[in-house]
Structure 1
Amino acid sequence: MQILTPQVFWAQRHGEIFLRVELSDASDVDISLQGHNTLQFRAQGHGAKGDNQYEFSLEFLEPVKSEIHQKSTQRQVDIKIRKRDERWWERLTLREKKPLFLAPDFDRWLDESDAEMELKAKEEKINKISVESRVRKDPYIGLKKGYLFMYNLVQFLGFSWIFVNMTVRLFILGQDSFYDTFHTTADMMYFCQMMAVLEVVNPLLGLVKTGFFPAMIQVAGRNVILFVIFGCLDEMQNKAVVFFVFYLWSSIEIFRYPFYMLACIGTDWKLLTWLRYSLWIPLYPLGVVAEAVAVIQSLPIFDETRLFSVPLPSALGHSLSFSYTLQLYLVLMFLGLFINFRHLYKQRQRRYRSRKRKVH
């Protein structure tokens, strides 16, 4: 019986070699590896020259692992062999001249760059599955998400009440509404800002991924303005600056809190996302400027009332006015503006880079 060579098609990945032997109804298939890189194939089947015994030998460019996976179908024999070292081969065989019976398998063919992209996609999928499995192992994940959802919902409702109340009063009373803002909204603002202390605690407990330091700067800064400047000085409570501070704070938060609230349930609204990551760019610096105006207006009042002044020995004077502390605080306020603005801008860049990757 005449011994013939079948048609063999090949393709590769970084870690594997694929061979497709065009031999239908193959039987007595014998595949072995000689040494570290020579494949021997022998089988009975129907090929290009009819029903005969077919065989071939391939000496690979580099060593391969001894384990061979093969599957015979009515149309062909599929062979998969793992490379010993996972890297791209410039050709299949040790000899530069390709055997006549060997051809590329264009159904599975990828060039090196495409194979790298496929490998990267597999790794990302594995990493995603690994992360999801770790998340599912957390028995308290539902409780944590429920807590964060309710926290953001309560803050959203509180700041929405402040924003709507101030807006309605502005339309009805005009500029007159500037001067009684504190007396009409302070209680709700006190509540919201005391609740905001949890935004400093949540990163420490690992409940959110946001940084501890930026959250502490914002919460501490606002509470100084609310509780020390406005809360302790009756003279400040009737000033127009209170309106601008409260209005700018609430304008930011009515978009920030619902964004995080919906993120807890895996929902993303494009318009809300854009507002959350864009409105702060003008509003946050304006809010800091309004806070700075409030501090500057309070300086002569603290000098006059001597509130929070530090007593000094008689040789040095009567007391050290709290206004000096606030002047230092003004400097720290604008330093905090720079730190937080940089942090928020990086958040925005990361957000839109990840959205572009998902689109592509």
Structure 2
Amino acid sequence: MRCLFYPDKRRVLRECKPSFRLAYIFLYNLFQFCGHTWVLANTIARFLTFGHDALADTFYSVGFVMSLCQLLSILELFHIADGIEKARLLPRFVQVMEKNIMLIMIIMLEEIQSKPVVCAQFFLWNIMDIIRYPHELLCVMDRPSITMLWIRYTLWIPLYILSVANEGVTIYQALPYVERRAPKSSPLNSTVSTHINLPFVLMVYLPFLTLGASVTVWLLLKERHHHLEKWKKKMKRI
């Protein structure tokens, strides 16, 4: 609040602006952490209460909050582009887009919403985000932790690989339902097709998903090496 004592208004704005940006990114990470914690806690509590039967209506119980958190994650691309968050844009772009594409497919296909693979997908997503956002909060508060740093850049990578593999299984299980919904071509429009062949699009998307995940893992490994080496140098100086 010391910026209120400066007489020059332009200087006041310059001094206060970083505080507003800091408060915004702190509240964003806190909201995401609370949202994903609620989804994970709700999912686990329902499974412990109802057993295997709880898997069928997991999406109906936590789908809205999960969708809201994933939709807001698009803001992270603007955070990185604007310099509020220091991270690589490409791997974050791949992660955000693949999650939102998968979520849109799940929302559109009610037949797969009750599949156990969807519950597994939500579980992996929330575990990953519960690992990531506390680390981001500590960085915002300028109180980094080597334990959270190691978990963020070590445990997170195999969880991401499992998540991508589960996404591939989800798409594979969704293909029969997509084929049923795809409009049938008639002799009148056999020359020029007026619809998009969604099953074919999903089949083509799978190699791109694998390629994008491979590049993301490679970049995450480089980022892990960079941050751990930076921490070691910092400890040596101390």
TM-score exceeds 0.5: yes
Q: Structure 2 CA distance, aligned partners of 1:161 and 1:150?
A: 16
Cα–Cα, structure 1 residues 155 and 310, in superposed 2: closer, same or farther, change >3 Å? farther
- What is the match of residue 137 of structure 2? 261
Amino-acid identity (%) = 32
Q: What residue ranges of structure 2 are gaps of 5+ in the alignment?
A: 1-13
How far off is 1:302 after superposition?
Answer: 1.0
- 1:233 partnered with 2:109: yes
Runs of 4+ aligned structure 1 residues displaced above 6 Å come to 309-312
Q: Which amino acid aligns with 1:314?
A: S
Q: Structure 1 CA distance, aligned partners of 2:63 and 2:167?
A: 16
Structure number with higher strand proportion: 1
How far off is 1:315 after superposition?
Answer: 3.0
Bigger RCO (CA 8 Å, 6+ sep):
2
Cα–Cα, structure 1 residues 273 and 321, in superposed 2: closer, same or farther, change >3 Å? same
- 1:276 partnered with 2:143: no
Q: What residue ranges of structure 1 are gaps of 5+ in the alignment?
A: 1-136
1:183 to 44, 54, 60: 60
Cα–Cα, structure 1 residues 318 and 143, in superposed 2: closer, same or farther, change >3 Å? closer
Q: Which amino acid aligns with 2:51?
A: G
Cα–Cα, structure 1 residues 284 and 204, in superposed 2: closer, same or farther, change >3 Å? same
How far off is 1:318 after superposition?
Answer: 7.7
Q: Structure 2 CA distance, aligned partners of 1:234 and 1:357?
A: 52
SS state at 1:235 partner: helix
- What is the match of residue 355 of structure 1? 231
Supply the RMSD in Å over aligned alpha carbons: 2.1
Q: Structure 1 CA distance, aligned partners of 2:146 and 2:225?
A: 15
How far off is 1:272 after superposition?
Answer: 2.0
Cα–Cα, structure 1 residues 165 and 310, in superposed 2: closer, same or farther, change >3 Å? farther
Q: Structure 1 CA distance, aligned partners of 2:74 and 2:56?
A: 28
- 1:335 partnered with 2:211: yes
How far off is 1:319 after superposition?
Answer: 4.8
How far off is 1:139 after superposition?
Answer: 5.1
How far off is 1:226 after superposition?
Answer: 0.5
Give the structure with higher Rg (CA): 1
**Native 8 Å contact 1:144 1:207 kept in 2:** yes
- 1:169 partnered with 2:46: yes
1:196 to 73, 94, 97: 73
**Native 8 Å contact 1:302 1:321 kept in 2:** no
- What is the match of residue 100 of structure 1? none
Q: Structure 1 CA distance, aligned partners of 2:88 and 2:232?
A: 24
Q: Which amino acid aligns with 2:143?
A: T
After superposition, the C-alpha distances for 1:226-250 in whole angstroms (9 at most, x for unaligned) are 11x2100110111111111000000
Within 5 A, what are the aligned runs for 1:279-358? 279-306=155-182, 313-315=189-191, 319-358=195-234
- With 316-325 and 239-248 compared, the bigger mean Cα shift is at 316-325
1:219 to 79, 96, 115: 96
Q: Structure 1 CA distance, aligned partners of 2:35 and 2:77?
A: 19
TM-score by length of 1: 0.58
Q: Which amino acid aligns with 1:250?
A: N
After superposition, the C-alpha distances for 1:148-180 in whole angstroms (9 at most, x for unaligned) are 101000000000001111111122222222211
Q: Structure 1 CA distance, aligned partners of 2:233 and 2:117?
A: 43
How far off is 1:273 after superposition?
Answer: 2.1
TM-score by length of 2: 0.87
How far off is 1:211 after superposition?
Answer: 2.1
1:243 to 80, 96, 119: 119
Q: Structure 1 CA distance, aligned partners of 2:103 and 2:195?
A: 25
SS state at 2:189 partner: coil
- What is the match of residue 3 of structure 2? none
- 1:205 partnered with 2:82: yes
Q: Structure 2 CA distance, aligned partners of 1:318 and 1:213?
A: 34
